[in-house]
Amino acid sequence: MSEHRLPEPDRPWVMRTYAGHSSARESNELYRRNLEKGQTGLSVAFDLPTQTGYDPDHELARGEVGKVGVSIAHKGDMQTLLGGIPLDQMNTSMTINATAAWLLGLYMAVAEENGVDPGRLQGTTQNDIIKEFLSRGTYAFPPAPSMRLIRDMIAFTVDAVPKWNPINVCSYHLQEAGATPVQEIAYSLSTAQAVLDEVRSRVPEDTFPRVFGRISFFVNAGIRFVEEHAKLRALGELWEQLGRERYGVEDPRYLRLRYGVQVNSLGLTESQPENNVIRIVLEALAVTLGRNARARAIQLPAWNEALGLPRPWDQQWSLRIQQILAYETDLLEYPDIFEGSKVMKGLVEELVEGARAEMAVVAEHGGAVEAVDYMKTQLVESHRARIAAIESGEQKVIGQNAFTSTEPSPLREGEDAGIMTVDPGVERAQIEAVETWRSERDAAAVAAALEELTTAARDDSVNVMPATLAAARAGATTGEWAAALREVFGEYRAPTGVSGAAAAPDGAALAELREKVERVSTALGRRIKILVGKPGLDGHSNGAEQIAVRARDAGMDVVYEGIRLSPARIAQAAVQEGVHVVGLSILSGSHRELIPTVLHQLDEAGANVPVVVGGIIPPADEIALLEAGVARVYTPKDFEISRIMGDVVDLVADRYGVAAEAA
Amino acid sequence: MAVDGATLGRRLRERDTAAAPAALNLIEDRSPAGREQAAALLGEVSPGALGGEAPAHLIGVTGPPGAGKSSLLSALVDLWRGRDRTVAVLAVDPSSKRSGGSLLGDRARIDHDPADDGILIRSTAAGTRLGGLAPPTREATQALAAAFDLVVVETVGVGQSETDVEDVSDTVAVVVQPGSGDTLQFLKAGIMEVPDVLVVTKADQGGTALRARRDLAGALGALGCPETPVLAVSSLPPPTGVEELVEALEAHRSRLDVRAVRLRARRMAALADFTAEHGERALRALGGRRAAEAYLADQDPTLDASALGGRLEQRARSSA
Ligand code: B12
Ligand SMILES: Nc1nc2c(ncn2[C@@H]2O[C@H](COP(=O)(O)OP(=O)(O)OP(=O)(O)O)[C@@H](O)[C@H]2O)c(=O)[nH]1
Ligand SMILES: [Mg+2]
């Protein structure tokens, strides 16, 4: 037998496409077509109201229904979503966190109706709330009850749905928020540890190794693909060690790191978007090349990541990348190709050491839950450094800050400008549908089930899953489930992390900018004050954070309240704080509904301030926003933040009639 | 955009809270024209114009960075609004030495209903000023006290030098988190003055908060102030200990001779501003601190601090 070939090629990983939009019906059609194309698992993208626990007709859901994912308000929606898909054979990954217990409840209720035994259900609920606080933003409850929900789900599924992965500890989103490889490993492992510590007391001792074995990870792979591969090996090593040393797990089956991947999207550009395909391929190599640290499941972003939502064809192209890797290349025929590599060994050692040190810092803060403020600040700081390196040209991004001359991209031609746009009529339809659902169900049964849920939630020693499942069966809605828990648990605003970001290094450009800010401020009578606001349910905070930090470094007074603000709260802050300019950031596609609302509310409140907007704004929408009264629009191609700042200062000088005086 | 300071001042006097943001814009304005309008505004809300001291309860909240001051305010605001008391919060954050800019983060932590005009939150940067307040904080407090039931100042997290906040508050609450041995040491060593109310936050985190509370109470007892309240609170929902805190704040205020305290504060502030602006030499020209204090004590007690400052300047000029 040869040492350098496997007797049998390996089976490929599970291939998925992160998909879902509009209604359950449309998403179901999309899933079935994707499966036909050779996709081997499902990955459900929910819309933001579903992820944060609001029904389509809730005030905060406005503009967001069915936009970036599918709207699932009740058991009926879930039944439609999964129609015609054999649940005893499918492996379904659901990107769901704050409302994970509820969506699992709906999934189980539907399986039950379809006669599928819960013992046969396979899939994953993401359910990692710490990274929601740190990066992703779809949290609903304060830290302690959030951890309890995770604990209850794990303790429940380990026997009731034994093949389910109740949590996918995520490092993916940390990298998307700027994390270095060391931070990715350290913070995700610290999170896993916090979760395991929480569960340990709730399950019998002999069950615990199985619990450990059910924890899976969701990781990222960036463009430095050699180091990224090393990162996964390092994670595996540390995971095994954690299992053995902290939790006394000995069975090698339970100690093995299991992970799924979505490769890096943060580095995908708006400029020369076709280059993104090459990036995606290289990143896919990072998680497939070495057999000892190969992904169990992969989903890839598309070439048009930075333009807007992918169309089915764009996603098909990305699925084909996976299929070519798995079925055309010889990748799966060999044992681990890095075994014995000095380079790989050295890289792994470096990362292990770095991650250990950083985990110790988190532990000093009292563990991942207590260290959320600390970790968030570190992420904002890392991202600040990353962006500064790109701005200065030190970190090359082909087509964006290097080799920028280009032919026009034919991919962006065509009526749809190369992206998918969700029909705004979807929201209305979903609202009507949920109203109909409510009027047709057994109202008394729902009320009783929610009452039961509230009682369970009040008692920390009771597992909320049985009451959740009962509410799902009775026909309660997503918003009702979450409202019942909000009532008991209260709500929470995660830290913004911006105050602790280091000052940008002094440079000529920044010095000039500061002088300009000083001059304009003197002419105005007080320092330029800017409000950076994030309206709606959008959790993409990177842009807003970096703008806020740079505005401070340019010498402005900055008010930034974090994500998920109502237009009313933004307008009120603008007035009360007496700001000179309002900067809004929206990446989740709800700008067409929400920006005009903010403008209107500002008017109503009597705030006569210029408004600038940044985010994922397709060219056609940019024109509409400017016509509606927005002064400037910035998108990812405007990666030079100091230049944006200079522009904003000029705008302020101009609007307040001090341009000449401050010149 | 000429804003009429006197009109804004009169509106505040009539308890029109909607006039507050514009009033604060003026008070923060450092241009000569702005200063002039601000003086007119402040004249309209001076004790003389109000016919006595403003009825508001002025509360200073101070303590080390991250102790939980803003979160505590969130819980307090909720309770006060539930009792229909109008609240203005002046939150002060540090400025970057390097750029002069600032990130004003307290507002984010104070939950409130955006449609409610009985709550105002205003963030200001401390600039180069030490001591936990921003340059316009004192004037802002004076203006808001005419229109709101409660005016709360959250200082920069400074820890031990809350002397400045004393000048703008009837009641000073020092907020510390469990395990902050520093405060205990500062108190014992007499570096830190005994606050009116001492608050230990994050009681939800268990035993350490209770231990901290006990240690602090012990230290206060040893310092001869056993009646200074020490309270443990948790600000995360559902909050605990906040009602008791409100009672303690009110109890302190009810024991206070408000007129005497504020009069003294105005005189101290006028003197501090005068010295900051013109230097110790100018103070010597007035015959030294004692003489200046005696001079201020002879002035009309209903004048506000800036008017008193004006008197000092006049005297300095005439004696020069
Ligand atoms: C990073 C990222 C994430 C991270 C966010 C981390 C964080 N804390 O910010 C994570 C992984 C958590 C994430 C999650 C999701 N994401 Co995402 N994400 C991205 C990604 C890859 C990059 C965005 C980014 O941070 N760029 C870096 C920052 C610095 O750039 P920027 O925000 O664009 O800001 C620049 C300018 O736009 C401008 N600007 C921005 N704001 C402001 C404000 C002011 C005042 C000014 C002056 C300028 C300005 O200046 C900045 C400087 O260059 C984009 C695609 C892309 N490549 O752009 C998708 C993208 C935005 N995400 C998308 C989606 C759908 C999601 C999800 C909703 C998916 C789902 N169904 O669950 C989730 C949920 C997020 C939520 N809660 O809302 C979609 C949105 C689709 C749309 N608009 O139609 C995108 C476009 C990807 C795609 N093509 O599908 N995402
Ligand atoms: N567990 C717990 N955490 C709290 C409590 N109060 C505040 N915190 C947390 O402590 C951190 C700091 O809280 P802030 O309210 O911003 O503290 P601060 O004193 O205003 O901070 P600065 O203004 O930056 O000096 C945040 O992460 C809060 O969520 C509490 O009662 N319990
Ligand atoms: Mg604060």
* B102 contact residues in A (CB cutoff 8 A): 552, 557-558
Q: Provide the sign of the torsion angle of the four alpha carbons A116, A119, A124, A128, taken in this order.
A: positive
* A652 contact residues in B (CB cutoff 8 A): none
Residues ≥6 apart with Cβ < 8 Å to A333: A5, A6, A9, A10
User: Which ligand 1 atom is nearest residue A302's CA?
Assistant: 89
Minimum Cα–Cα distance from A506: chain B residue: B98
The model's pTM: 0.96
- Confidence at residue A514, expressed as pLDDT on a 0 to 100 scale: 96
Active site positions of A, annotated: 18, 172-173, 534, 538, 540
* A564 in contact with ligand 1, CB cutoff 6 A: no
pLDDT tens-digit readout, B35-50: 999 999 999 999 999 9
Residue B172's Cβ-side half-sphere holds a number of Cα atoms within 13 Å equal to: 22
pLDDT tens-digit readout, B236-255: 888 999 999 999 999 999 99
B194 has pLDDT over 90? no
B1 has pLDDT over 50? no
> Average pLDDT, stretch B117-127?
96
- Confidence at residue B115, expressed as pLDDT on a 0 to 100 scale: 93
Taken in order of first residue, the domains within chain B and their CATH numbers are 1-51 (no CATH), 54-256 (3.40.50.300), 259-319 (no CATH)
B2 has pLDDT over 60? no
The two structure tokens encoding residue A75:
């058991």
* A644 in contact with ligand 1, CB cutoff 6 A: yes
Asked if the C-beta of A655 comes within 8 angstroms of chain B's C-beta atoms, the answer is no
Q: Residues 316-345, chain A: which have Cβ within 8 Å of B? A: none
Closest CA to B202 of B186, B183, B185, B179: B179
CA-nearest residue, atom 42 of ligand 1: A614
Closest CA to A527 of B95, B18, B137: B95
Which residues does residue A633 pair with via DSSP β-bridges, in sequence order? A613
* A116 in contact with ligand 1, CB cutoff 6 A: no
Closest CA to A38 of A230, A265, A316: A316
B162 has pLDDT over 60? no
Distance of CA B126 to the CA centre of its chain: 13
Site from B104, B148, B204, B208 to mutate, A interface, most A CB atoms within 10 angstroms: B104
**Alpha helix locations (H) across B102-191?**
106-109, 137-145, 163-166, 181-189
Distance CA A400, CA A577 (A): 37
Regarding predicted confidence, which is higher, B265 or B20? Answer: B20
A573 touches B120 (CB < 8 A): no
CA-nearest residue, atom 52 of ligand 1: A639
Residue B24 has its nearest CB partner, among A548, A553, A578, at A578
pLDDT tens-digit readout, A169-224: 999 999 999 999 999 999 999 999 999 999 998 999 999 999 999 999 999 999 99
**Alpha helix locations (H) across A114-249?**
129-131, 143-160, 172-176, 181-200, 208-214, 225-245
pLDDT tier for residue B316 given thresholds of 50, 70 and 90: confident
Q: What angle do CA B288, B290, B292 make, to 5 degrees?
A: 70
- Confidence at residue A127, expressed as pLDDT on a 0 to 100 scale: 98
The two structure tokens encoding residue A110:
């539907």
The two structure tokens encoding residue A171:
């490092």
User: Which ligand 1 atom is nearest residue A644's CA?
Assistant: 47
Can you tell me the ipTM of this complex?
A: 0.94
B163 has pLDDT over 70? no
Site from A572, A608, A648 to mutate, B interface, most B CB atoms within 10 angstroms: A572
Question: A576, B99: Cβ pair inside 8 Å?
Answer: no
Taken in order of first residue, the domains within chain A and their CATH numbers are 96-303+310-402 (3.20.20.240), 508-655 (3.40.50.280)
- Confidence at residue A371, expressed as pLDDT on a 0 to 100 scale: 96
Q: Provide the sign of the torsion angle of the four alpha carbons B280, B282, B287, B292, taken in this order.
A: negative
pLDDT tens-digit readout, A431-481: 999 999 999 999 999 999 999 999 999 999 999 999 999 999 999 999 999
CA-nearest residue, atom 32 of ligand 1: A543
* A43 in contact with ligand 1, CB cutoff 6 A: no
Q: What angle do CA A23, A467, A147 make, to 5 degrees?
A: 85
| Sheet strands side by side (includes B230-232) | B119-125, B87-93, B150-154, B57-62, B171-176, B197-200, B230-232
Distance CA A105, CA A445 (A): 16
Mean pLDDT, chain A cut into blocks of 10 residues (663 residues total): 90 96 96 96 97 97 96 98 96 97 98 97 98 98 96 97 97 98 98 97 94 97 98 98 97 96 98 98 97 96 97 97 98 97 98 98 96 97 96 96 95 92 95 98 98 98 98 98 97 93 85 96 97 97 98 97 96 98 97 97 94 97 97 97 97 96 86
Distance CA B48, CA A556 (A): 37
Q: How far is the CA of A335 from the centre of ligand 1 (A)?
A: 38
> Average pLDDT, stretch B6-30?
97
Quick check: helix, strand or coil at residue A355?
A: helix
Which residues does residue A169 pair with via DSSP β-bridges, in sequence order? A217
* A560 contact residues in B (CB cutoff 8 A): 103-105, 108
A520 touches A652 (CB < 8 A): yes
CA distances from B161 to B58, B67, B104, B124 (A): 18, 15, 21, 19
Question: B108, A568: Cβ pair inside 8 Å?
Answer: no
Nearest chain A Cα distance for residue B234, angstroms: 13
Closest CA to A477 of A430, A428, A427: A430
Distance CA B72, CA A208 (A): 39
Distance CA A259, CA A168 (A): 8
